[in-house]
Amino acid sequence: MRPSTKKGTTGIRLSTLLNEDVILLGFEAADKWQAIERLVDHLVARGRVKAEQRRVVLDALVARENIASTGMEHGVAIPHAQVEGLEEAAGAFAVAPKGVPFGSADGRPALLIALLVIPRRSIKQHIRTLAGIARLLNYEDMRAALLGARAPKDVVAVLQAEEEKGA
């Protein structure tokens, strides 16, 4: 059985952070910096992050990325940060078929990008949520299903089905 990302065991489920309005298919960006900025702007446009918090959220993500790349192996990147003053966790998900250079450990561009920002007061939840997302996206069949999604609702369905397996 695969690990769950159920709240309380490993943090917030990815499927509860992401609904169709924060999922971008056919995503393109020149590099990780542009990708992060576009995803934050998308969260602001969708009301998930307040416009006046945009700069602090973006700065926190950039500061975290400057410590070490959040590009993982297998075409996955999980840019993330703890943000002071953020009221609740927010996330965006991008499927980038052409890939985005992310400074990944294996040198491959990111095809799947899960951006996560969590209130600073929720450090344990942040760590558990990140671990759950990383485990979920570690499975080849899961990545293939997400890359094959034709609509945002397909991404949500894939995530929910996988998380239910591990619930």
Per DSSP, the residues of 35-102 read HHHHHHHHHHHTTSS-GGGHHHHHHHHHHHHHHS--B-STTEE--EEEETT--S-EEEEEEEEEEE--
Q: Which of 107, 10, 11, 118 is nearest to 60 (CA)?
A: 118
Domain hosting 36: range is 14-165
- Kindly state whether residue 76 falls inside one of the protein's structural domains: yes
- The token pair at 103 is 């400074």
Query: Can you give the pLDDT of all 167 residues of the chain as single tens digits?
Result: 233 333 334 466 777 778 899 999 999 999 999 999 999 999 999 999 999 999 999 999 999 999 999 999 999 999 999 998 888 889 999 999 999 999 998 999 999 999 999 888 766 666 777 777 877 788 899 999 999 999 999 999 988 887 777 65
What pLDDT sits at residue 164? 77
- Kindly state whether residue 2 falls inside one of the protein's structural domains: no
Q: Which of 135, 134, 142 is nearest to 162 (CA)?
A: 142
Amino acid in position 5: T
What pLDDT sits at residue 2? 34
- Kindly state whether residue 69 falls inside one of the protein's structural domains: yes
Residue 162 has, within 13 A of its CA and on its CB side, a CA count of 27
Domains in the chain, number: 1
CB-neighbour burial class of residue 113 (10 A; exposed 0-12, middle 13-18, buried 19+): buried
- Kindly state whether residue 39 falls inside one of the protein's structural domains: yes
Q: Report the CATH number at residue 20.
A: 3.40.930.10
Contacts of 22 (CB under 8 A, 6+ apart): 42, 43, 46, 48, 90, 91, 92, 93
- Kindly state whether residue 5 falls inside one of the protein's structural domains: no
What pLDDT sits at residue 26? 97
- Kindly state whether residue 78 falls inside one of the protein's structural domains: yes
What pLDDT sits at residue 126? 61
- Kindly state whether residue 89 falls inside one of the protein's structural domains: yes
What pLDDT sits at residue 6? 38
pTM score, whole prediction: 0.88
